[in-house]
Structure 1
């Protein structure tokens, strides 16, 4: 299944929303949109494409109503999710965690285009496995530019087959939190200020 979601926030107006596939978006507040799964997704073979545009002077909060559970499909274990964020206003994107269940292999790619006046908080939380499961795999990449200047290139692999995988001890959960233009935040793990502005906080452990 392929799911496509487009959300456009404009100043003084309700967000414009378009959805097809297994995910719907609902306005739940003046500047808030919640994503809701209308079908079991992502399963192996599924692709989810999210595009969010926040225009100058607009503000948008994006949330999910529940955790995302990636499951293997009948033909393949791999699923994909892409996020395309175009931020000239203020965006706070904080979905519930992604749980990579059973032997799923889930790949996430996020591309951020900011203007110098844009404001962003982006948090991603991932857990490999439900209780007793350790065989899942997740990869996530974050590519951010500010006014055409590279700001951040970040990639993490987690779970079975990742560079940090080990039978004795290896992280099975991570949190990444990207802020712009703030260079200092109170977030779990280690916070790194970025040369082009903003900061990235990262944490890894056994369980969220």
Structure 2
């Protein structure tokens, strides 16, 4: 199944929302929307494409009503989530965790274009396996540009087959948090200041 979502935030107006496939978007406050599953997704073979636009002077907060569970499909283990974000205002993206279960393979790719007037917090939380499970693979990449020039290139993998895979002590959970323009923020990980402003904080462990 292919899911497509568009959320456009404009100052002084309600967000413009379009959604098809396995997700719906509900406006819960004037500047906040929640993503709601309308079908079991992501399953193997699914692609979820989310496009977010925040105009100058606008504020948008994106949340989810529940954790996401990535499961294998009948023909393939792999599912994809693609974020395409353009922001000139204030954006806070903080979904509940993604659980990569039952040996599935889940790939997330975030493309972020922002201007110097933007203020951004982008958090992603991932857990390999439900209770008693240790199988599953996740790869997450963030490609962020500031006014058309590189701000961040970052990729993390978890689970069997990942770069850090080790039967004795490989991490199975990750929290990644990107901030701009703030470089000194309270996070669960160690913030690493970026050369052009902002910071990236990453935490890894066994369980969220």
Normalised-by-shorter TM-score class: over 0.9
Partner of 1:6: 6
Distance 2:22 2:129 in 1: 22
**Deviation, structure 1 residue 16:** 0.3
Distance 2:96 2:110 in 1: 16
- 1:129-140 pair list within 5 angstroms: 129-140=129-140
How far does the alpha carbon of each residue in 1:8-48 deviate from its partner, in whole angstroms, 9 at most, with x for none? Answer: 00000000000010000000001000000000000000000
**Helix, strand or coil: the match of 2:121?**
strand
- 1:33-182 pair list within 5 angstroms: 33-182=33-182
Gaps of 5+ in 2: none
How many aligned residue pairs are there? 208
**Deviation, structure 1 residue 89:** 0.5
Distance 1:166 1:148 in 2: 38
**Helix, strand or coil: the match of 1:127?**
strand
**Deviation, structure 1 residue 60:** 0.4
**Deviation, structure 1 residue 145:** 0.6
**Deviation, structure 1 residue 97:** 0.3
Distance 1:164 1:60 in 2: 35
Distance 1:115 1:170 in 2: 37
**Deviation, structure 1 residue 132:** 1.0
Q: Is 2:18 the partner of 1:18?
A: yes
Gaps of 5+ in 1: none
**Deviation, structure 1 residue 168:** 1.4
**Deviation, structure 1 residue 85:** 0.7
**Deviation, structure 1 residue 135:** 1.1
**Deviation, structure 1 residue 149:** 1.4
Deviation beyond 4 Å, 4+ runs, structure 1: none
